[in-house]
Every structure is written in structure tokens, then in C-alpha cells.
Amino acid sequence: MEKRKLTRSEYIKIKKRRQQKRKILRAGVYTVYYGFWTILIALIFYFSYSFITSKFKKDSTSIGSKNKDIVMYNYDSYDTDNTVVASTTNDASNKNTSVSPNVTDNKPRKQDFVDDGKLIVCIDAGHGGKDIGCNSKKRNEKNDTLKIALEVQKYLKSKKVKVILTRSNDYFISLQKRVDICSEKKCDYFISIHRNCGNGSGYETWTSSDANEESKYLANSIHSGLVDIGISKDRGVKSGSQKSSKEDYFVLRNTTTPACLLELGFLNNYNDNKYFDSNKKKYSKAIGDAIIDTYNQYHEKK
């Protein structure tokens, strides 16, 4: 059977349909091709920008302040979280930057140790609940401090050491309550865990301005252990607070047991976060070992 020859009009219609299909196919290929490269380039720019800003960003983001330093005090005039952000700079626009002249909580208290042969350690995860502490993008200090506190608890329990946590979850607790927990449970040591924020980098450890020798030994042992594992910068062991060498952090001033406060890197510093995230278990072990070592140095086991 012979094929019927197409008329000119039929041939033109078929040709147009083929050309239309080619155009649609070509448009689809171009869309996929250029869409892929557009998305890839956008992702490269996004991650590059995120890396650069997280590493070199100079403005800290913290509760109620964009100042460099953070100091935690307790003031009876405040009915919020008993935490005040103070700064070495005078900022009249921030009501929380001035220090109350009626502070009576900064008087020295004798540091005691219940030497009953049983080591009980109070681990204080800084901030919590409505008090997020320092924050950078979606990262909050209260979460990082709790992670380390739980890791330290886990390690010390494996060494048969009793651990008291001031908080074991994400809830608010006042500074005075943290101190009270340590006292009520007759803890031998108090370790407060924090992270810094501002223009700097590195790790630092704090004691009260009148810390006894045992507190100093504890702080130096913990700090040395962290340095040995690896940190971006050694900011040293210091006394007092970021505001003044004679004005202490509330929890250090008001605990009656040897105590220290750890600032485990700057939350808005890329390198510090990298060290923190990759060494949580190692840091926790170093903290635990330093606590046990201090106990063994100063107290005979019964």
C-alpha cells in the first residue's frame, strides 16, 4: 500500500509542531542548567558570607547590650533574673549598664569545705530559660553551658563522684538560687560554666578577688587542662570580674565553697565555636579530672 503524500499545508503543520517541541525542550534544558548554576552560586555566596561574618564580626549580640563585656551581678532593685549586663563603656541609653550604688552582696564570705571524705561537686550551667545569655544568630549561651554541664556530670559520675546540677534542663534559675543549691547540698566545689561574647577570642577562668589557695588551685588546674587540649587563645586565670579586679561575679562572691567560673570561648567567634563543638567531651573530662585532682591535693580520703 503506497503512502499518501503530505500536502504542503500538512507538512508545514508537522514542521511547526516539531519546532515547537524543540523550543520547549531547549527552554527546559536552559532552565535546569542556569537554575543549577544560579543556586550553586547563591549557596557559595551565602556560606562565604556566613563564614566571614561569624569569624570577623565585631559586634557582639547579648541580652540587653551590644557592649564588649558582660558582668553578672545581683541587685535587689531588679525583679527579673538578677542578672545585669554591665560594661566598661558608659552608655546612657542602656539602663542595665550602670552599677547600683546600694549593692551589699559583694562582701567577702569565708570559703569552707566539708571534709567528710565524700566529694560532692556543684556544676552550674549558666543562664537558662528566659535568660539566654550571649547569643549569636541561632546559637544561645544557655544551650552550650548545659551541654558541657551534662557532659561533666556524666564523666564525674563514672568516677563515683556525686554531682549536683543547678539546672538539668532549659529553665530559668536565679543567681541566688544557684548559690543556695550549692550550700544546701553541702557541695565541696562550685563550677559555673559560661561562654563569652564580644570583640575577643579565647578561654579564661575566673576566681573571686579573695579566693583561697584551694580555689586558685582548682581554677588553674581546670584552665591548664583546657589549654592542653587546645584553645584558640589563652586569656589566663583572672580574679574579680570583667568590670573590676575587686568586684566579683555574684556566684563566686556568695558561694562559701572553693569556686571558679569558666568562660569557654566567645560565642560569636567562629574559631572558638569550632574548638567548643569538637572538644566538648575532652573539655568535660579535663574539668572533671582537675576537680578530682584538687580534692586529692587538699584532702585526705577517709
Span 10-36, pLDDT tens digits? 777 777 788 888 888 888 888 888 888
Most confident of 48-57, 76-85, 106-115: 48-57
What is the structure's pLDDT at 1? 56
Q: Among 26-30, 120-124, 163-167, 269-273, which is the least confidently predicted range? A: 26-30
What is the structure's pLDDT at 71? 38
What is the structure's pLDDT at 232? 96
Q: Higher-confidence residue: 104 or 10? A: 10
The proportion of the chain whose per-residue pLDDT surpasses 90, expressed as a percent, equals: 57
Residue 123 has pLDDT above 90, yes or no: yes
CA atoms within 13 A on the CB side of 254: 18
Q: Higher-confidence residue: 58 or 191? A: 191
| Distance in angstroms (rounded) separating the CA atoms of residues 108 and 211 | 9
Of 193, 58, 209, 222, which is closest to residue 133 (Cα–Cα)?
193
- Residue 278 DSSP class: H
pLDDT tens column, 37-76: 889 898 888 888 877 765 554 433 333 333 333 335 443 3
Chain centroid offset of residue 106 CA: 26
- Is residue 42 packed enough to be buried (19+ CB in 10 Å), middle (13-18) or exposed (0-12)? exposed
What is the structure's pLDDT at 116? 66
Residues 6+ apart with CB under 8 A from 231: 202, 203, 265, 272, 275
The proportion of the chain whose per-residue pLDDT surpasses 70, expressed as a percent, equals: 76
Length in residues, the chain = 302
Q: Where are the domains of the chain?
A: 7-56, 120-298
pTM: 0.67
Most confident of 23-32, 116-125, 135-144, 147-156: 147-156
What is the structure's pLDDT at 4? 67
What is 49-116 written as a DSSP string?
A: HHHHHHHH-----BTTB-SS-------TT--SSS-----SS--TT-TTSSPPTT--TTS--------S
Cβ 145 vs Cβ 195: under 8 Å: yes
Is residue 135 classed as helix, strand or coil in its secondary structure? strand
| Distance in angstroms (rounded) separating the CA atoms of residues 130 and 83 | 11
**For the domain with range 120-298, which CATH number is right: 3.40.50.720, 2.40.10.10, 3.40.30.10, 3.40.630.40?**
3.40.630.40
Helix (H) or strand (E) segment spanning residue 272: helix 270-278
Residue 299 has pLDDT above 90, yes or no: no
pLDDT tens column, 218-233: 999 999 999 999 999 9
| Distance in angstroms (rounded) separating the CA atoms of residues 125 and 178 | 10
